[in-house]
Structures are given as structure tokens and as C-alpha cells.
Amino acid sequence: MARVYNFSAGPAMLPTEVLTRARDEMVDYQGTGMSVMEMSHRGKHFVGIAEQAEANLRKLMNIPDNYKVLFLQGGASTQFGAIPLNLGNGSGKADYLNTGHWSVKAIKEAKRFVDVNVVADTKPENFTTLPAEGETTFSPDADYVHYTPNETIAGVEFPYIPDTGDVPLVADMSSTILSRPIDVSKFGVIYAGAQKNIGPAGLTIVIVREDLLGKSRENTPAMLDWATQAEADSMYNTPPTYAWYMAGLVFEHLLAKGGLEEMGKINERKAEKLYAAIDGNDFYRNPVEPAYRSWMNVPFMLADDSLDKTFLEEAGRQGLVTLNGHRSVGGMRASIYNAMPEAGVDALIHFMNDFAKRHG
Ligand code: PMP
């Protein structure tokens, strides 16, 4: 079977074991004579799949009982608007940390609904660093604080959880969820598009503390209202059933592999060796302050950018694909989510060293 190492930022690689299991169950799901895609979302088979997926996610992330888990649509981008609609009904003010492309988008959308106070901004540093722990001052009267723990494009990741006191902390975990254990109880809301570490595009996970439900603005569309969705077990309308099923297979797979403790160890090792390869060779450069480098998204530049195209072509011939950087930053980016095997990172490092030798 020809599988490439796909370094895409998302949609990204899925574990081969998950794909083959889905293939085996595709046409006739466990003797039902139908595909999961063809099932009623309210029938007992799909309800079983949905409940099992949620139970496994709760186990993986150790989600406390006073949190609801929602399986929604619309991507993380829809939540950029849903967050102020659900939470911005008190003072109508919210604190945002501006640490990259996705923070910018979240802020832009929130400004439609609430007074946004940008309490930290690393744009002047080209988003290559983050505020140090304890450095940011939050507004005591804010309805919530929003941040992006991992910025997918610049490749910066918070090594700490900001302490916002009693103000609920909202985190866009799209590109870091499930990469290591986290303490869910420190957050008011965690949300993530699925297409990186969870499953196929089309599913969005929202984990919300129960006391934050039922406070939405009066004009909040039903589909965006977390309380409405929680009340309906995420089935206010037809949910993305197949993506939900696939996410369930990924959760089961991660549990079988030893859970997030184990993933964290592997991910740290993968990232460390890739950054070491970049730092150890003058031919390559990563601009991010070492303390804030992402475990998931590793941007790097070639010393001579006229070789970018050749680098991508040669890498592609060796089955190392989608290494091009985001169009806004150029250069290269290796996204190394859970499903990227360590052997894929080793193969990339080997290729990079060889390429530098031949072209350096
Ligand atoms: N936030 C982050 C951190 C992301 O990486 C992305 C997608 N790359 C988004 C939000 C947008 O996600 P979606 O496409 O699911 O709306």
C-alpha cells in the first residue's frame, strides 16, 4: 500500500489503522447491511456510535462531569462568532490575546458582537514569540478571555495555561487538541475543528463548562447556541454523522496506543528532533523563540529561497508531501500531528540533511 508522509496542516493524516477499519466497515457496518453514512442519526446504531465516541473522548482528555461535549459543524471559524454570542452577554467586553493568524480571525469576528480588548499582541514580533507566563493583565469585568494555544501558521505554542482568575478562559485548540494531556478544568470552553488531530473536516468539537450554558444573547441562532445543542445531544439538526464516527475510531485508537500521556511523549520527541535538525544546520532556519515553538506545526526556511521549489519537488519524489509553508509566510512547514509516525519525521530529517549537503 502506497501511503505518503503527508505534512499538511489540515486536513491532515489520519492513522492508517483507522482508515483500514473504516474501509472494512464501510459498506456493511457491523452486520447492519448499511454504511454509517446511510444510518438515521436517531437510530440505535448511530446513537451507540455517538455515545461511545463521546465516552472515549471524555476518557482520553479526562473531561470532568460538569462539562458538556458538543459535536457540531461549521469548523472552528463558526465558533469565532458563537463564542461572543454565547458568552458576551454580561459586560459585553472580552479580552483577546493576539498571537497569530487565527487569533486575528477570532478577534475580527468577535468585534461584531462584543468590545474586544486586546491584552497581548505579538504582531510587532511577526508572531514569532508569545507573552511570558504571568506577563498579561486581564480585565476583571471581561465576560471571557480568548486565546489560541497553538498558532498553526506561525508555529507558536503556549507552554502554559494563562491564569485568568474567575474569568472563563476560552481556547481555540484546533491544532493542539489531543497532542498531550491538559487540565480541562482550567478552561471555560475548549473548541477545535476536527481536521488535524481528531478526524475528517466537517466536525467541530466544543467542550463547555455547564455553568456557562444558557447565557447566550437573545438573537443567537439556535444552531450556534451551545445550550440548545447540549439539550439536543448535538442533534438539534442532522449532525455530521460520518465524521463523528471517524472521530470515534481515532479516539479508540489513541486510547489503545496509551492515551495522551503516551502521545505527548512521542510528540515531544518528534518535535525536538526536527527542531534540532533545523538548528543544527545553517541551511535551515526556524524564526520562533525556542520556548514557544509548537510541537505540531514546524515552519522553517531555506537559507536560499530560490531552492524552495526544488526542495518540494525532491521531497515529493520521496513521499514527503505538503511541506510548503502557508501562503502568508512562505518557506516550508511540517505539520506533525498525532498521526504522523515518528518514522515520517525521521525520513524528513534524513531528506533535509541530504538536500543541504547536495545544495548547500
Ligand atoms: N483555528 C486554528 C488554530 C486553525 O488552525 C484553523 C484551521 N487551520 C482554524 C481555526 C479554522 O478552522 P476551520 O477551518 O475548522 O474553521
> Any idea which residue has 441562532 for its cell?
221
In a domain, 50, yes or no: yes
pLDDT one-digit tens code per residue, 177-188: 999 999 999 999
CATH number at residue 108: 3.40.640.10
Task: Provide the grid cell at 67.
Answer: 462539562
In a domain, 1, yes or no: no
Q: Name which of 88, 150, 94 is nearest 288 in CA terms.
A: 150
Query: What residue owns the CA closest to ligand 1's atom 4?
Result: 174
From the CB of residue 26, how many other CB atoms can be counted at a distance below 10 Å? Answer: 12
Catalytic (active-site) positions: 102, 172, 196
Q: Is 8 in the pocket of ligand 1 (CB under 6 A)?
A: no
219 and 278, same domain (yes or no): no
CA–centroid distance, 159 to ligand 1, in Å, is 20
210 and 320, same domain (yes or no): no
Q: Is 157 in the pocket of ligand 1 (CB under 6 A)?
A: no
CA–centroid distance, 76 to ligand 1, in Å, is 5
What per-residue confidence (pLDDT) applies to 1? Answer: 62
Sign of CA pseudo-dihedral 352, 268, 147, 216 = positive
Amino acid at 337: Y
In a domain, 22, yes or no: yes
Q: How many helices (H) and strands (E) does the chain have?
A: 9, 14
| Among 256, 280, 295, residue at a domain's last position | 256
Confidence of residue 95 (pLDDT cuts 50, 70, 90): very high
In a domain, 2, yes or no: no
Q: What is the ipTM of this complex?
A: 0.99
Bridge partners of residue 334, in order along the sequence:
298
Task: Provide the grid cell at 22.
Answer: 473504516
* Residue 47 predicted with pLDDT over 70: yes
- Best probe residue, ligand 1, of 7, 77, 146, 327 (max atoms within 8 Å of C-beta): 77
Distance, in Å, from the CA atom of 125 to the CA atom of 238, rounded to the nearest integer, reads 44
Distance, in Å, from the CA atom of 291 to the CA atom of 133, rounded to the nearest integer, reads 11
Residue 172, annotated as binding a ligand = yes
CATH number at residue 289: 3.90.1150.10
Query: What residue owns the CA closest to ligand 1's atom 10?
Result: 76
Q: Atom of ligand 1 at shortest distance to CA of 78? A: 16
DSSP string across 141-176? T-SEEEE-SEETTTTEE-SS----TTSPEEEE-TTT
* Residue 327 predicted with pLDDT over 90: no
Distance, in Å, from the CA atom of 51 to the CA atom of 14, rounded to the nearest integer, reads 21
What per-residue confidence (pLDDT) applies to 2? Answer: 85
79 touches 105 (CB < 8 A): no
Residue 286's domain comprises 7-14+259-359
